[in-house]
Amino acid sequence: MTEIGTTVLGYPRIGPDRELKRSLERYWAGKIAEAELLDTGRALRTRTWRELKDAGLDSVPSNTFSHYDQVLDTTELFGALPERFTTLGLSPLDAYFAAARGVQDAPAMEMTKWFDTNYHYIVPELGPDTTFSLTGTKPLDEYREARAIGVETRPVLVGPVTFLLLAKAAESAPEGFRPLDLLDNLLDGYVELLRRLHDEGVEWVQFDEPAFAADRTEQELNALIRAYHRLAKETTRPKILVAGYFGGLGRGLGVLARSPIDALAVDLVTDESFADAVAAEPALRDKEVLAGVVDGRNVWRTDPTRALSRAATLLGTAKSVSVSTSCSLLHVPYDVEREDGLHPRLKGWLAFAKQKVDEVVLLGRALTEESVDLSAARTAATDRATAADLADAGVRARLEALRPEDTVRSPYARRAVAQQDALGLPPLPSTTIGSFPQTTEVRKARAAHKAGSLDDAGYEAAMKAEIEHVIRLQEDLGLDVLVHGEPERNDMVQYFAERLAGFAATDFGWVQSYGSRCVRPPILYGDVSRPEPMTVEWARYAQSLTTKPVKGMLTGPVTILAWSFVRDDQPLGETARQVALAIRDEVHDLQEAGIRVIQVDEPALRELLPLRAAAHEAYFAWAVSSFRLATSGIDDATQIHTHMCYSEFGEVVKAIDALDADVTSIEAARSKMEVVTDLGAAGFGRGVGPGVYDIHSPRVPDVDEVSGLLRTAVGAVPAERIWVNPDCGLKTRGYAEVEPALRNLVAAANAVRAEL
Ligand code: MET
């Protein structure tokens, strides 16, 4: 075989029934031995390779398995785990897990989002004295393992430039050090790996370079040139495929086309216009191009007509064109066939990983042979495109009738006075972000209700008891704005998706988020509306228990989209407006029910930020206006809060300001309040609650620590605008830590208040 042919760039690895998750968690809990964990992995790999081969792919990827994360695998492969994990006397596997998860004496490596997906990778920590050398054998082992069962594979590796661009400078590194400075040394390691793969008989190897779907400097593009000239110049090497995905490659396209690699995989889904750029690239004429026309990130069945025409655009340009996925299938669930709970018609529009492999095979044949029957795929595409019941005329008419003033509140100064009159809060008011610890009893009650063994009345009583407990606790602690604690919510997006029209839920649609953690995103397939109030009764009940204001708690439109699989037949901004309208109805009803403070969480505002700066403005325009649509049209005296976390704020400060929320609470404890300085500098002029209690750790901060953070905040932003709150919701914590921590938080607020 000289060509790659039809293939997928990667595959899910957590297991169709989350076998790897279960095995990992049992191993970490000391319940199974290492050998059993390794067996689970082997069984999953074997199954995947066989399936991919039997489905008829020309080339099957390997080394797409991981016990935790492919970036951490790469760090380990080249002997670059930080010393704090390798000197603990642990087995290699345990040192690897220690790096991912932390142990008592060695805090975990940082974890962050993999580009604009909801997958998270472990960030390499590098310094000038890092030396890479090929100490691991994982890609070789997996290749051999697959060959032993009769499957010839193409090892997949994180590309050297992307690896370094994703890394960060270790804390000990001198000012000015950049991980990219280590490129030559890292390339030595990759050269050695290529040599060994070649000796093993590997024909093709895949290097992933998604970092070039984002804006890159001249220097970074030069690194790309250097890397692939160096690797390709080796004579004893497999053929090299470079995969650039999560968008068009920009100037990276020309660089890769002109480098002496053998094949290039391009994403023709994220940015449709990229197909024209690829078609116009003359330097591709000596290369195989993999046309990524099957969406690796979303769950919709591919429209064969559009996919083929896009792939066919490249036919005259490249030496040969094959069909592939736009990116790894890691980001979609395994198999839609198992979803018996889905409406059959909707199911017919969906393709999960297994179905996407079949699509690739079929489209690959259709591109080269004439006589391929695409009628089933065409019918599905037409059925979805013409499905009248996706459109909700009422929703569309309401959106059409909106006037600009419907998304604008009166000036903040006026609102602030009205709100102060209504709420009468002290300076530095204290509150929490919404959820309280989800105790075993709460989880049990929810599960029993879902399973039908606890009836509606019993469930309601259990939730009300929990709400009452949370209200009494907050009164006792002396917090100023209370919450009901969110005991009824399984998840902040799923809860709303289950109550909104236009969404469907899956039974087995799990996707890896990080390590053993998986999420099951809802599917937003049609026009969205709110058949009835979703949170009002719980909020009303909570408010009836206390004279202090209770804050209503909602999830914002951007976050609902970010954590769902969203329809791709209309612009995201359009869908966001529909979700916003439904949230707006809820905001209105909460106000009617006597709720005077309403929080609309947008923790994913940063997550959907496009990789290229040129697209930021358009994104902010719809993201901001959907939030404002959701939160306008109410009384001046009703106070709107929003909450954000997991975020680097630099690029989004302006957008946060534009949301026009009365109060914004943000993660800040770990960064020692840096964000407040940023906001102050940006002229952010409304209420702000920088988190003073890091809820991602079981540590209880003492009064001095919290007051110290508060004083920093008071120094950067006028005191009358500061709120006192934790970093995020408390649902993953236990009462044993939460109670003393909140007690200290209130004491600190009192102490600093007295100094004003
Ligand atoms: N209100 C939500 C909570 O407290 C906000 C979470 S943001 C990830 O859990």
> pLDDT by residue (tens digit) across 10-22?
999 999 999 999 9
Catalytic residues: 696
In this prediction, residues 453-480 reach a mean pLDDT of: 97
Q: How far is the CA of 122 from the centre of ligand 1 (A)?
A: 23
- DSSP helix/strand/coil, 475: helix
Whether 684 and 722 have beta carbons less than 8 Å apart is answered as: no
Q: What is the mean pLDDT of the chain?
A: 95
pLDDT in tens, 700-731: 999 999 999 999 999 888 999 999 999 999 99
Q: Locate the ligand 1 atom nearest the alpha carbon of residue 492 and give its number.
A: 2
- DSSP helix/strand/coil, 101: helix
Whether 535 and 586 have beta carbons less than 8 Å apart is answered as: yes
Q: How far is the CA of 560 from the centre of ligand 1 (A)?
A: 13
pTM of the model: 0.95
Provide, rounded to the nearest whole percent, the portion of the chain with pLDDT above 90: 90
Q: How far is the CA of 693 from the centre of ligand 1 (A)?
A: 14
Q: Locate the ligand 1 atom nearest the alpha carbon of residue 555 and give its number.
A: 1
pLDDT in tens, 4-56: 999 999 999 999 999 999 999 999 999 999 999 999 999 999 999 999 999 99
Q: Locate the ligand 1 atom nearest the alpha carbon of residue 432 and give its number.
A: 4
In this prediction, residues 511-537 reach a mean pLDDT of: 96
Identity of residue 592: E
- Measured by CA distance, the residue closest to atom 6 of ligand 1 is 729
- For residues 471-486, one letter each, b for 16 or more C-beta atoms within 10 angstroms of the residue's C-beta and e for the rest, the string is bebbeebebbbbbbbb
Distance (Å, whole) CA 123 – CA 102: 13
pLDDT at 654: 86
Q: How far is the CA of 337 from the centre of ligand 1 (A)?
A: 33
pLDDT at 647: 54
Is residue 576 pLDDT above 70, yes or no? yes
Q: How far is the CA of 235 from the centre of ligand 1 (A)?
A: 54
Q: How far is the CA of 664 from the centre of ligand 1 (A)?
A: 13
pLDDT in tens, 307-344: 999 999 999 999 999 999 999 999 999 999 999 999 99
Q: Residue 283 gets which letter from DSSP?
A: G
What residues line ligand 1, using a CB cutoff of 6 Å?
Answer: 433-435, 486, 492, 553, 601, 603, 643, 645, 728-729, 731
Distance (Å, whole) CA 609 – CA 663: 22
pLDDT in tens, 611-659: 999 999 999 999 999 999 999 999 999 999 999 986 567 778 889 999 9
Largest Cα separation within the chain, whole Å, is 82
In this prediction, residues 175-204 reach a mean pLDDT of: 97
pLDDT in tens, 372-429: 999 999 999 999 998 877 889 999 999 999 999 999 999 999 999 999 999 999 999 9
Q: Locate the ligand 1 atom nearest the alpha carbon of residue 644 and give its number.
A: 7
Identity of residue 421: D
- Measured by CA distance, the residue closest to atom 5 of ligand 1 is 729
- Measured by CA distance, the residue closest to atom 3 of ligand 1 is 729
Query: How far are the Cα atoms of 366, 454, 635, 636, 658 from residue 639, in angstroms, in the given order?
Result: 58, 37, 9, 7, 16
Distance (Å, whole) CA 111 – CA 644: 18
Burial of 46 (0-12, 13-18, 19+ CB in 10 A): middle
Is residue 219 pLDDT above 80, yes or no? yes
How open is the CA angle 245-248-254, to the nearest 5 degrees? Answer: 105
> Cα torsion for 665, 667, 670, 672, to the nearest 10°?
-40
Which residues 6+ apart lie within 8 Å of 199 measured at CB?
A: 236
- Measured by CA distance, the residue closest to atom 9 of ligand 1 is 729
C-alpha 82, offset from chain centre: 26
Q: Hey, which of 492, 600, 665 would you mutate to test ligand 1's pocket, going by the most ligand atoms within 8 Å of its Cβ?
A: 492
pLDDT at 677: 80
Give the Cβ contact number of residue 616 at 10 Å. 17
Token pair listed for 749: 């607020």
pLDDT at 648: 66
Identity of residue 756: L
SS3 content of the chain, % helix, strand, coil (to 5): 45, 15, 40
Token pair 């200290």: residue:
744
- Measured by CA distance, the residue closest to atom 1 of ligand 1 is 434
Give the Cβ contact number of residue 191 at 10 Å. 17
Q: Locate the ligand 1 atom nearest the alpha carbon of residue 434 and give its number.
A: 4
Predicted confidence band at 683 (pLDDT cuts at 50, 70, 90)?
A: confident
Distance (Å, whole) CA 519 – CA 513: 6
Token pair listed for 125: 């920590």
